[in-house]
Chains A and B, each alone.
Chain A
Amino acid sequence: MATDARILPLARPSPRGIGRSLLLTLPIFIWSLLMMGFRPGAKFDPVSSIAAILTALFMTMLFFMMMRSRSTYRWRRIFFVSLGILFPIGFIHNLLVMRGTMGIPIEEMIAGRTPFCFMPIPLLILPAALTRTLVFPGSIGSASQGIAGMVGLWLALTLVMGKGWCSYACFFGGIEEGVAAIPSRAKIRKLDPRWRYLPWAVLLAMVLLSLALFEPAYCMWLCPFKAVSEYVAARNTIGLIQNIIFITLFAGLVVVLPFLTKKRTQCSWFCPFGAFQSIFNKISIFEMKIDQSRCKPCLLCQNACPNLSLSKESVARGETLLSCMKCGACVDVCPRQAVVWHIKGTQIAWKPERARLMFLYSAWALAIMFGGTIIAGGVYTILHFIV
């Protein structure tokens, strides 16, 4: 009884009015239309028009539900899982149409004839600093959309959102988040906290090996998502071993472990880009805070966190760990509204809904810009087969 009394919920905030929710959603609706290419004079074929309209409505509807219900995580998850499912559909279809295979020969990668992927960004820094050469396994942009533009855009978004990138823009994380959502409860609950350091070790090892080998070592040897995108064509034993590594890591980290633990294990335990993004949480203006005056440490937030970014110690300190992806799961699950969105430099629990809105506008704009266009591509592929 004492335990129940400790975690008695405070009154949950009531749903926002429909009119006010619609008004708050209006900028996102306009942004969705713009990002889907609905501009004066734009021409569409019927299938891509339907795909774009469906995507714009989908993204707008989810944002509306976030505004109306005042909860974030479950609506974001619908978007994120859709992105994770539709990305490979559109991407693999494009690969098969353009090349006839998912296997890319190494010379194609060296020549930069593979699509942009953000994963190797941290691997480029040391080779670029020491040799002024970008060891990038693909084209970073067209002539009008050069390297500086892409990196500048990523940097600006990262400075605002920190590791929020991993919850609102990454087109890989949705696959494991979807798998993690399948079981009703975790089969494995006790997870060694030391595994949280592995992404940093992968980052350190891959940055150093990329410099030594003058190639993006992670893309060549360890990326689990090669299993659902382009991979190195297996022409010999080494190529075969590489592909076996990709598929094993995908099966283990993206399918089996998320199913058993209900966590995003690849993101929490392996992804070097995620570790790199964590650094930017230090300078991002948005963060999650735990209001100690409200918190009775029931640790529901720790259990709900899909990225293992909360520990007993961090809850006691009133903050998340550096790896927090700002997905909002901890905020939504807290029965006492002790976990809040927070803008650095303000007092804790100072208008948390305002902080949430400010974060969500930037995050959802990013989600539509990157994820929305990918979702539209996936929907287009499906419609293309149906119609």
Chain B
Amino acid sequence: MAVFASCGEALALGLASGPACIAACGPIVVPSLLTERAGLRPHLRYLSVFLATRLLGYMFFAVVAWELGALASMLPAPRLLMMGVVYVLLAGVLLWYAYAARRSCVQPCADSKLVQIGENRNRGIAGAASLGFLTGLNLCPPFVAAGIRAAQLGSMAAAMLFFAVFFLGTSVWFVPFISLGGITRNQAVLTVARMAMALIALYYLSMGIAMLLGKKTYGY
């Protein structure tokens, strides 16, 4: 009975935290999805990989933090360091993704005609997997809220279950992203998505470096 109650609480927390989750992951998911081929299936595949590896990231962090006894109360210094590393890695993957997306053009992107988007040659899986895992490690507010509640549970297994159900609740909010598959892909969309990824990567890179140097990025 206690397990059901815990699962219900995790699901409710996940559903309630969904907007914050898509806000935190939106800058990564939206432009990278726009470099995929149009259509429901490529987007479904991307999101499945992204969400699966995001769950993996959640679980990985939760297990390590549980073992270290720091699931609910991570000290500010290591948290800043971890966030800094995750941000720099996210920036690196986004930049690589933006660069690799140029291969999506059947014709050279400089061509003024509309281009067809070709096969992605597994770029989607590797890219989506890396981005999903790193966003799973990202200590976004809903994740911290779930971590505090999970830390109060009696065992690691119960905490893992709590995280998994919480993850399911938040994942519902990602379903609308599939509709991006309805946007026609042409040179304009692809170029805009790549440029946006580069800009977002620069932001994460600068924030990551600032965090690694111990600089406050808010409250200035």
A residues adjacent to B (C-beta < 8 A): 106, 126-127, 130-131, 192-194, 197-198, 200-202, 204-205, 208-209, 211-212, 214, 217, 221, 232, 235-239, 241, 311, 313
Contact = CB atoms under 8 A, between A and B. Distances in A.
Nearest to B213: A237
Given A193-B112, A194-B110, A235-B220, A205 B215 contact: no
Nearest to A232: B220
Contacts of A202: 195-196, 199
B107 interface: no
Interface of B: 19, 22-24, 26-27, 30-31, 109-110, 112, 188, 191-196, 198-200, 203, 206, 210, 215-217, 219-220
B23 A201 contact: no
Contacts of B206: 241
Contact of B30 (A194, A204, A221, A311): A204
A106 B220 contact: yes
Contact of A194 (B191, B198, B200): B191
Given A201-B195, A204-B30, A204-B192, A212 B216 contact: no
B23 A238 contact: no
Nearest to A192: B110
A311 B192 contact: no
Contacts of B110: 192, 194
B27 A205 contact: yes
Given A200-B195, A232-B220, A238-B210, 9 more contacts: A106-B220, A194-B110, A201-B191, A201-B196, A205-B27, A208-B196, A209-B200, A212-B26, A236-B216
A209 B203 contact: yes
A208 B200 contact: yes
Among A192, A200, A205, which residue has the most Cβ atoms of chain B within 10 A? Answer: A205
B188 A197 contact: yes
Nearest to A198: B195
A238 B217 CA distance: 7
Given A193-B112, A197-B191, A313-B112, A239 B220 contact: yes
A176 to B, nearest CB: 21
Contacts of B210: 237-238
Given A131-B19, A197-B192, A200-B192, A212 B199 contact: no
A201 B24 CA distance: 18
Contacts of A212: 23-24, 26-27
